[in-house]
Amino acid sequence: MNTFELTILGCSSATPTASRHPTAQLLNIAERFILIDCGEGTQIQLRRYKIKFQRIDHILISHLHGDHYLGLMGLLQSMHLLGREKELHLYCPQELKEIIDLQNKSSQTVLNYPLVYHFTNVQQSELIFEDDKLSIETIVLNHRIPCTGFLFREKLGDRKILMDQLNRYEVSVAEIHKLKKGLNAFNNNGEEVENALLTADPDALRSYAYCSDTAYKEAIVEQIKEVTLLYHEATFLSNMLDRAKATFHSTAAQAATIALKANVQQLIIGHFSARYSDLSQHLEEAIPIFKNTLLASEGEKISI
């Protein structure tokens, strides 16, 4: 089974605290390292958790509030100073290019590596990346400024070879390539043997939905239905529902309600307001609605 692992680098909203950094996550899918948002101090967190900068080839920025991108310029500069030459893909609002270009111009910096931009569409969900292992699409959220979440889906893998069955039916290992692709094989006597007798189904597909800053929005439920893991912001508790509405954020109860309606397997809540030092109340609010809820915790690695 390929790696599918999430590392929480930051889980605070708006301002950092002594124990929580602004939003950033690192997702490893089949050795494809993807940075999701890049709040202040992200490169320090990458070092703290021993994640090599240069393994990151894709950076996704949900929106242009500072707690989601102010760490980006420092990270790009460090990659440059450390001798990066391979291209880096940046998926982001179009205005971010202006910000990066201005800072590079002002510091007379020319990056050693190509920075390839992919501008996100905040009007509708779009496929922004796809290869043989993975697809990524945007999720249109409801925030004070344009904002997208991201949905990561694993691609169906090869069928699993049952070696004992190959021996039983006298099928050569030379037929394995065809069998992995679902085709029938021929045994040593030239007789066709059905694929189902020689293989097992591939591993179940896994998925991860990242919903950063957003007011409660049921319209996303259909898109994220039955994902393996959902990250949904839970900036406030329900006693601050009016504040959540005014700032286009969600409560822990609202995040849990989205998870319940989408029938996801597991929910992780984060993006906590700095006003909360004790996060246990977020769990107490969410779990009665959606039992399988976790708190985002910096440095935690979650295998999906």
**DSSP one-letter string for 160-177:** EE-HHHHHHTTB-GGGHH
Q: What is the pLDDT of residues 229-244, one digit of tens each?
A: 999 999 999 999 999 9
Residues 181 and 46 in one domain: no
How many residues can be counted in the chain? 304
In terms of DSSP H, where are the helices of the chain? 42-48, 72-81, 95-106, 163-168, 176-180, 221-224, 241-247, 252-262, 280-286
Q: Is residue 204 predicted with pLDDT exceeding 80?
A: no
Residues 15 and 125 in one domain: yes
Q: Is residue 31 predicted with pLDDT exceeding 90?
A: yes
Residues 42 and 74 in one domain: yes
Set 37, 57, 67, 278: catalytic member: 67
Residues 166 and 271 in one domain: no
pLDDT band (50, 70, 90) for residue 283 = very high
Has residue 303 been placed in a domain? Answer: no
Task: Give me the pLDDT at residue 273, please.
Answer: 97
Has residue 11 been placed in a domain? Answer: yes
Q: What is the pLDDT of residues 186-201, one digit of tens each?
A: 888 888 878 887 777 6
Residues 207 and 194 in one domain: no
Residues 183 and 248 in one domain: no
- What is the reported pTM? 0.89
Q: What is the DSSP string of 274-297?
A: TT-S--HHHHHHHTTT-SSEEE--
Q: Which of 200, 229, 257 is at the close of a domain? A: 200
Residues 41 and 122 in one domain: yes
Has residue 290 been placed in a domain? Answer: yes
Q: How many domains does the chain have?
A: 2
CATH of the domain at 253: 3.60.15.10
The span from the CA of 59 to the CA of 54, in Å, is: 12
What's the average model confidence in pLDDT over 258-275? Answer: 97
Q: Is residue 70 predicted with pLDDT exceeding 90?
A: yes
List the Cα angle 213/219/222 in 5-degree steps.
Answer: 110
Residues 21 and 66 in one domain: yes
Q: Is residue 158 predicted with pLDDT exceeding 80?
A: no
Is 139 in contact with 220 (CB distance < 8 Å)?
A: yes
Residues 187 and 286 in one domain: no
Residues 137 and 261 in one domain: yes
Task: Give me the pLDDT at residue 171, please.
Answer: 81
Is 62 in contact with 93 (CB distance < 8 Å)?
A: no
State which residues form the domain around 170: 160-200
Q: Is 131 a catalytic residue?
A: no
166-172 own/partner pairs: CB under 8 Å, 24+ apart: 166/198, 169/193, 169/197, 169/198, 171/198
Instruction: Provide the CB-side half-sphere exposure for 151 (13 A, CA).
Output: 20
* Phi, psi of 82, deg, nearest 5: -85, 5
Residue 11 structure tokens: 């889980």
Residues 209 and 196 in one domain: no
Residue 261 structure tokens: 């309606």
The span from the CA of 190 to the CA of 175, in Å, is: 12
What's the average model confidence in pLDDT over 44-68? Answer: 97
Task: Give me the pLDDT at residue 172, please.
Answer: 81
pLDDT averaged over every residue in the chain = 94
Is 232 in contact with 266 (CB distance < 8 Å)?
A: no
